[in-house]
Amino acid sequence: MIDFNYETDFTIANEETISTWITKVLTEEGFKEGEINYVFCNDEYLHKLNVEFLDHDTLTDVISFDYTMGKLISGDIFISIDRVRDNAKYFKVDFINELYRVMVHGILHYCGYKDKSQEDAKTMRAKENHYLGLINS
């Protein structure tokens, strides 16, 4: 089950479409959907989590807490709408496109993809682009 939670005044209008898309991503990657919670928040909220749980005193667009067991994907994905908006402007992309990229990015981490090395980041970006193509099809 995919749930959407809001700690800011932002809301997603098409939750059902997004849920179906994320389920497709997981299926294509060979995983099953467990309990996945998206929490949309602001910079302040996510910064506090970043400091408290990861000991990082920086702003970020997404933090995910992975509770996956085997092939059953579960976790909490916190997304700062402030960071997504700023990143969309910086990268000159549509806000919704950047939001979807961050949403699938968290899921791909749960599927085992990393992004710390240049090669891993390249693979992650290719996967993101592939799955972004599916949401609009």
Sequence-distant (6+) residues with CB within 8 A of 129 are: none
The answer to whether the annotation marks 56 as part of a ligand binding site is no
What gap in Å lies between CA 107 and CA 64, rounded to an integer?
A: 9
Could you tell me the CA-to-CA distances from 76 to 24, 48, 119, 133, 136 in Å, in that order?
A: 18, 15, 26, 24, 24
105 is in an annotated binding site: yes
- Please give the annotated binding residues for Zn(2+), written as ranges: 105, 109, 115
- Please give the annotated binding residues, written as ranges: 105, 109, 115
